[in-house]
């Protein structure tokens, strides 16, 4: 600190720009800010520790192979079966249905908002789409159970679905993740430089060709990220699946019947009254661990793809 | 135009048809989601409006569907939002300030923190419930299924939303403001407190409201934490047991109805209250954004 002001003899002293004295208050504040920042790291650590501890305990009782390969899931029976396959099937089925709805519709909406809509139209339509994203999932669940299944699927389309079914849960979940996909994909498409579009127009391309053969491929990594993010939200969704697809596990791929997913099992089993240390209590953590690992991997993939498109155009 | 006619042919009618139908298909993609939102709101309103009255707001839940109200759920939700706000505002803003104003982005630990926050933003909400169950309700803190545990669980869940929004608001304050303040002799914290924070408060407030509007509808973490499904009392403190609107809705949806008692309209009425609260919060956020938006 002192060296800046007192220089070699004969030379003009440079003005002192540093602080006159060390300000301990500033250090204390910085310390507090760092402490607050550590909370988010602690959250992740806490999640991992909480899941790991009980999961290891769980695998002490139930073999890991039995868990991953078993085809029967009846943890609450005595003696219970702990094959997680039916839950994975339920998760996969509802997510796949949701993706079939959300990927085409969401990407279509993204192309429209990014390439076709005038700024004023975009400014009106985008908030409506965001409202859809803000609807609590329990409300979607109610809608799927009391309107979509009986009125649309059974009465209107004459499908032989039971009142709890994976089809309604999947379709409504698709609309839940649609705004996420549309919004992230639109950001990626809007980030494509105007010069690429102008180049294509200059070569005589139509708007359709510019959108689908220039902008879409150029924004592909962002679009992949959008879809992966949407899938990861669908995989982790609890309430829609629990309310609309019921709470009995099924190992079939029949979307007309009830299904239990990883997340909806946790929601259906974990109440305040599950005794600590019991095998039900541990299954919640083991299933939670599997869910956490699956969504974590997807998020890492999505983050990687998002970084890629940012690097190219910014 | 005529001299270039040979180079670029005008679009054929087939091509024009393709363009128009593509545009219509895209419009359909967006339109169907808006239609669904409309049908959803109409359906809930049609089911629940008849039950939505003062009696419903001012009475506790009951086995008798005709007498049941959502009082404890409404107050539970208000308590939860209070705890959640008290947690996310200081922690979220402090984290954002550290990351934007102090952290050196080239250091690996700061990048780790950033990636970590991005990841936390997409951890399934039910997993946060497990975290709350293992550490807050049971385990080290052993608070039990009380307001404090529920509010903190929701707070941890939406903390990334606040951090990300606050960072954007802080980043939007131009460096020249900071440099001017520092050049006048203010310390770094004085600069942040007197220049950067006041300028970024609208953005931060918008982020906090958006975070709360996500927290208010979360059901799964509260179920896992162990919120009471039936409560004939309002919370009277941080250590009190509670229920909340989404929990009450779930309870009414899953309770079997019979000839005398139909609980579905109660669920719909409670959903309407939840949606009205959400609408109010979002209107405030939009108003804040428009009113205080600053162009530098």
Per-residue model confidence (pLDDT) at position A142: 95
Say whether A274 sits in a helix, a strand or coil: coil
Q: Which two structure tokens, joined as six digits, stand for A199? A: 């180049």
Which residues pair with residue B241 across a beta bridge? B146
Nearest-CA distance from A264 to chain B in Å? 9
Number of residue pairs across A and B with CB atoms under 8 Å?
A: 262
Per-residue model confidence (pLDDT) at position B291: 80
CB neighbour class for B45 (10 Å; exposed up to 12, middle 13-18, buried from 19): middle
Rounded Cα distance between B226 and A104, Å, is: 38
**What average pLDDT score do residues A105-132 get?**
91
Per-residue model confidence (pLDDT) at position A311: 60
Per-residue model confidence (pLDDT) at position B56: 87
Does B18 lie at the interface with A, CB-CB under 8 angstroms?
A: yes
CB neighbour class for A198 (10 Å; exposed up to 12, middle 13-18, buried from 19): exposed
At A226, the pLDDT band (50, 70, 90 cuts) reads very high
Per-residue model confidence (pLDDT) at position A7: 45
Report the interhelical angle of A85-111 vs A166-190 (nearest 10°).
Answer: 40
The answer to whether B9 contacts A204, with C-beta atoms less than 8 Å apart, is yes
Nearest-CA distance from A37 to chain B in Å? 5
Does B12 lie at the interface with A, CB-CB under 8 angstroms?
A: no
Per-residue model confidence (pLDDT) at position A275: 77
Does residue A9 surpass a pLDDT of 70?
A: no
Q: How high does pLDDT run on average in chain B? A: 88
Does residue A4 surpass a pLDDT of 50?
A: no
Q: Which residues of B touch A284 (CB under 8 A)?
A: 130, 133, 224
Nearest CB to A272 within list B29, B226, B278: B226
Does residue A274 surpass a pLDDT of 90?
A: no
Per-residue model confidence (pLDDT) at position B240: 87
At A73, the pLDDT band (50, 70, 90 cuts) reads confident
Nearest-CA distance from A12 to chain B in Å? 22
Nearest CB to B189 within list A26, A276, A292: A26
Nearest CB to A132 within list B29, B37, B113: B37
Per-residue model confidence (pLDDT) at position B85: 96
Q: What percent of chain A has pLDDT over 90?
A: 52
Task: State the pTM of this model.
Answer: 0.89
Does B251 lie at the interface with A, CB-CB under 8 angstroms?
A: no
- Cα-Cα-Cα-Cα dihedral of B74, B39, B208, B146, to 10°? 30
**Residue where the block lists tokens 């979940």:** A173
Interface test with B, best of A204, A237, A267, A300 (most B CBs within 10 A): A267
The answer to whether B95 contacts A37, with C-beta atoms less than 8 Å apart, is yes
A79 preceded by a cis bond (ω within 30 of 0): yes
Does residue A58 surpass a pLDDT of 60?
A: yes
What average pLDDT values come out for chain B (296 residues) when binned by 10 residues? 54 82 92 94 92 86 80 93 96 96 89 90 92 87 88 96 94 93 92 93 91 94 87 83 92 79 89 94 85 72
Per-residue model confidence (pLDDT) at position B7: 58
Per-residue model confidence (pLDDT) at position B1: 45
Per-residue model confidence (pLDDT) at position B2: 47
CB atoms near residue B196 (< 10 Å): 21
Q: Which residues of B touch A245 (CB under 8 A)?
A: none
Q: How high does pLDDT run on average in chain A? A: 87
Does B145 lie at the interface with A, CB-CB under 8 angstroms?
A: yes
At A12, the pLDDT band (50, 70, 90 cuts) reads low
Rounded Cα distance between A125 and A134, Å, is: 15
Give the chain A residue whose CA is nearest to the CA of B88: A36
Interface test with B, best of A22, A26, A46 (most B CBs within 10 A): A46
The answer to whether B36 contacts A175, with C-beta atoms less than 8 Å apart, is yes
Nearest-CA distance from A1 to chain B in Å? 16
**Residue where the block lists tokens 């910014």:** A314
* Chain B (44-103) residues lying within 8 Å, Cβ to Cβ, of chain A: 44, 47, 90-91, 94-95, 97-99, 102-103
Per-residue model confidence (pLDDT) at position A13: 66
Q: Which residues of B touch A239 (CB under 8 A)?
A: 219-220, 246, 250
Which region holds residue B234: left if phi is over 0, alpha if psi is between -120 and 50, else beta? Answer: beta
Contact A207, B19 (CB under 8 A): yes
Choice among A100-104, A197-201, A252-256 with the minimum mean pLDDT: A252-256
Distances A274 to A159, B134, B226 between C-alpha atoms, Å: 38, 12, 9
From the list A21, A4, A172, the residue with the least C-alpha distance to A98 is A172
Q: Which residues of B touch A32 (CB under 8 A)?
A: 94
Give the chain B residue whose CA is nearest to the CA of A151: B43
Distances B120 to A5, A75, A136, A231, B164 between C-alpha atoms, Å: 47, 29, 19, 16, 11
From the list B45, B126, B226, the residue with the least C-alpha distance to A262 is B126
At A302, the pLDDT band (50, 70, 90 cuts) reads confident
Who has greater pLDDT, A289 or A302? A289
The answer to whether A134 contacts B213, with C-beta atoms less than 8 Å apart, is yes
Residue B46 phi/psi, 5-degree rounding, is -65, -40
The answer to whether B34 contacts A128, with C-beta atoms less than 8 Å apart, is yes
At A312, the pLDDT band (50, 70, 90 cuts) reads low
User: CB-hemisphere CA count at 13 Å for B276?
Assistant: 13
Residue A282 sits at the vertex; the CA angle it makes with A279 and A287, to the nearest 5 degrees, is: 125
Q: Which residues of B touch A52 (CB under 8 A)?
A: none
Which residues pair with residue A82 across a beta bridge? A73
């Amino acid at each position: 600190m002192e060296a800046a002001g007192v220089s070699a003899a004969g030379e003009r002293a440079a003005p002192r720009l540093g602080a006159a004295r060390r300000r301990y208050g500033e250090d204390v504040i910085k310390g507090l800010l760092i402490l607050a920042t550590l909370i988010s790291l602690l959250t992740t650590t806490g999640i991992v520790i909480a899941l790991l501890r009980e999961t290891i305990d769980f695998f002490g009782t139930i073999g890991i192979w039995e868990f991953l390969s078993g085809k029967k899931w009846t943890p609450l029976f005595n003696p219970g079966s702990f094959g997680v396959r039916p839950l994975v099937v339920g998760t996969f089925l509802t997510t796949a249905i949701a993706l079939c709805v959300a990927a085409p519709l969401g990407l279509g909406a993204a192309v429209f908002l990014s390439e076709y809509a005038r700024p004023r139209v975009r400014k009106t339509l985008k908030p409506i789409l965001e409202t859809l994203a803000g609807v609590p999932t329990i409300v979607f669940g109610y809608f799927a159970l009391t309107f979509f299944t009986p009125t649309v699927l059974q009465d209107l389309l004459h499908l032989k679905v039971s009142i709890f079914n994976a089809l309604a849960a999947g379709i409504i979940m698709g609309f839940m993740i649609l705004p996420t996909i549309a919004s992230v994909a639109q950001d990626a498409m809007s980030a494509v430089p105007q010069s690429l579009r102008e180049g294509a127009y200059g070569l005589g391309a139509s708007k359709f060709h510019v959108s689908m053969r220039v902008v879409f491929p150029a924004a592909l990594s962002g679009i992949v990220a959008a879809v992966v993010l949407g899938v990861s939200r669908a995989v982790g969704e609890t309430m829609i699946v629990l309310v609309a697809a019921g709470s009995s596990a099924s190992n079939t791929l029949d979307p007309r019947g009830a299904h239990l997913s990883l997340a909806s099992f946790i929601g259906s089993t974990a109440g305040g009254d599950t005794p600590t240390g019991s095998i039900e209590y541990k299954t919640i953590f083991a299933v939670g661990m599997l869910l956490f690992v699956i969504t974590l991997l997807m998020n890492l993939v999505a983050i990687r793809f998002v970084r890629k498109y940012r690097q190219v155009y910014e | 135009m005529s001299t270039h006619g040979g180079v670029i042919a005008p679009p054929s009618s087939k091509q024009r048809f393709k363009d128009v139908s593509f545009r219509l298909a895209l419009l359909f993609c967006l339109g169907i989601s808006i239609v669904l939102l409309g049908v959803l709101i109409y359906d809930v309103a049609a089911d629940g409006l008849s039950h939505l009255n003062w009696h419903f707001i001012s009475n506790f839940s009951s086995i008798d569907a005709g007498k049941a109200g959502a009082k404890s759920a409404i107050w539970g939700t208000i308590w939860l939002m209070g705890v959640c706000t008290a947690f996310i505002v200081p922690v979220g803003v402090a984290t954002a300030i550290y990351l934007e104003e102090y952290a050196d982005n080239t250091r690996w630990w700061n990048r780790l923190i950033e990636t970590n926050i991005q990841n936390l933003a997409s951890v399934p909400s039910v997993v946060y419930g497990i975290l709350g169950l293992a550490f807050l309700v049971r385990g080290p803190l052993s608070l039990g299924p009380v307001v404090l545990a529920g509010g903190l669980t929701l707070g941890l869940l939406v903390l990334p939303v606040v951090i990300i929004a606050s960072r954007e608001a802080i980043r939007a304050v131009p460096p020249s403001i900071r440099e001017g303040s520092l050049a006048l002799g203010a310390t770094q914290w004085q600069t942040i407190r007197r220049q950067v924070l006041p300028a970024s408060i609208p953005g931060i407030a918008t982020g906090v409201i958006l975070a709360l509007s996500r927290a208010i509808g979360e059901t799964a973490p509260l179920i896992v934490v162990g919120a009471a499904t039936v409560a004939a009392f309002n919370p009277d403190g941080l250590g009190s047991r509670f229920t909340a609107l989404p929990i009450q809705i779930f309870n009414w949806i899953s309770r079997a109805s019979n000839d005398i008692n139909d609980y579905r309209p109660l669920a719909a009425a409670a959903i309407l209250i939840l949606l009205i609260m959400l609408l109010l919060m979002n209107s405030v956020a939009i108003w804040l954004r428009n009113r205080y938006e600053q162009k530098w």
